[in-house]
Amino acid sequence: SKGYERIDAATFADWGIDYLKDDSCHATEMHAYAFHQYTLMRDALNATGRHIFFSLCGWNPWYAPPDKELHYDGGASVGNSWRIAQDCYDWRTTFNAIQVNARLAAYAGPGGWNDPDMLLGSSPGVANWLRPHQSRTQFSLWCVMAAPLLIGSKMLNLTAFDLETYTNTDAISVNQDPLGIQGRPVVDTCPEGEVPEKGTVPSCHQVWTKPLHNGSTAVAIVNFSPEPKYMHIDFATDLGIDGKAFVRDLWLKHRFPPTNSFATQVLGDGGSVMLLITPLELLPSPSVDTVEQKTQ
């Protein structure tokens, strides 16, 4: 589209397009010029009068924050989402995208989102995929990160497991929460930086939290270590929640009795648990299904 932004934008609008991904293959690494290139398409799309979601794909975290020297107001001033890392094509590269996005939460919000790339899934017959529990962890984290949920798999060949993952309305509600806050890790034992090619994901764990509009908190507990790990969160220390709260596992679909902490065994190599924590005073006393905390 270089040099034809207005013609292409008008064509897309005429076709009734709702989403445009503008990939920067072979584009410059000069920040000022890269920003300028995207503003050309932004202005062309706005000139059509049609609401088209504009997805920038520059694969770099420097698209997210403002740059005063370059008079750049941040990703949200140019598009509705912006890629912040290299492509996800295995668990190592997915971990790297998670690590990059962990430090960019301040730049996301309603109308503009950090994009850590597509959901890989675990269905067969595709070039890139994850193990089933890793694909579910990716989806859980993408929901907590308020990231775009774009399925990068064969839609006509999804396994029942992947279909269950991508249709979990509780998890999707976390992603689509109207408060629009990107979650961030509140417990993080992972070393800083990305894992290089041929490297291995470090033995570490994270606890991510995302505040929701109704006063609840979404939590993702992730075990990157190769072996299962018993993991514990204290609501006051880790989440800033005083007193007891209801805990609902968004994958097991069970609510636990009121408590002020939570502990469970989490699978290794990318296993996770996704929870909804709701302070006691926000809910009437429900009928509670007491279940044993299981390995996720």
**How far lies 243's CA from each of 190, 237, 254, 277, 283, in Å?**
29, 11, 21, 12, 14
* Torsional class of 263: left (φ above 0), alpha (ψ -120 to 50), beta (otherwise): beta
Q: How many whole angstroms separate alpha carbon 162 and alpha carbon 221?
A: 20
Contact 165, 186 (CB under 8 A): no
Q: Is 249 a catalytic residue?
A: no
Among the options 14, 18, 23, 242, which is catalytic?
23
| Local structure of residue 286 (DSSP, 8 states) | -
Q: How many whole angstroms separate alpha carbon 264 and alpha carbon 283?
A: 24
Q: How many whole angstroms separate alpha carbon 1 and alpha carbon 24?
A: 10
Element at 198 (helix H, strand E): none
Q: Could you tell me the two tokens for 109?
A: 């919000």
Among the options 8, 67, 87, 170, which is catalytic?
87
Q: Which residues pair with 221 in a beta bridge?
A: 207, 273
Say which amino acid occupies 36: H
Q: How many whole angstroms separate alpha carbon 21 and alpha carbon 181?
A: 23
Q: Is 23 a catalytic residue?
A: yes
Listed in order, strand segments (DSSP E) in 102-228 are 113-115, 184-188, 205-211, 217-223
Burial (Cβ within 10 Å: 0-12, 13-18, ≥19) of residue 92: middle
| Local structure of residue 238 (DSSP, 8 states) | I
Known catalytic residues are 23, 87
